[in-house]
Amino acid sequence: MTDSERHPYVELIAREARRPVVTDQAARQRIMAAVRAEPLPRRRSTIWGRVIAPRSFTLSPVTGSLLAAGLVGIGVLAGALTSNRVGRPPVGQVPPVASGLPVSLQASDTVVKFVFVAPNAAKVSLVGDFNDWTETRMEKAEKDGLWSVTLPLSVGRHVYSFVVDGAWLVDPKAPMAGDGYGRTNSVKVVTKGSTL
């Protein structure tokens, strides 16, 4: 676009933009005095200050993908090494001889007796991580409405619940923990020796 094709307003704006700016000397001195009066920014000289100082770094998509894949691999490996919650023997181990009990109940360190008071119940069962959450039927004492079952358990932390006539209930005498799926279960910490 040439100067002759410009709109008159464009030419007026261009002329104003080219005009030198004249500032009042007193105003300039006031502004500079205010700037000088401001304290200088302090530098963090401590080690902690250097550690928490914000930094920026760039990560290429390939490096980011490799980092993410490595973290996922570490998580999968750690999960495989630490969780054998279903009672199966680790890969390469021969399962124990079948004895009618779930595999997780065949190798035990101690015997634990579970008791639940439900005088009006028709059926009470015990479920937990030690029996793969399948119902183990409890026996009822005739006189006081106590239901009980004795199981061999390995040393460690176990979570369980009672199933009373189809409804899952926690043990009111035991600590409780959420299972991450919205359900609360009871906790039993088993130490070496019998708890009969």
Distance CA 196, CA 190 (A): 12
Locate 132 and state its tokens. 């793969």
> Tell me: the pLDDT tens digits for 146-162?
899 998 888 888 899 99
Range of weakest confidence among 5-9, 33-37, 90-94, 186-190: 90-94
Helix, strand, coil % over all residues of the chain, rounded to 5: 30, 25, 45
Domain segments of the chain as ranges: 103-190
> Tell me: the pLDDT tens digits for 44-102?
567 877 788 888 878 899 998 999 999 999 988 888 777 655 444 444 444 444 334 44
What CATH class is the domain 103-190?
Answer: mainly beta
3-state secondary structure 160-183: EEEEECCEEECCCCCCEEECCCCC
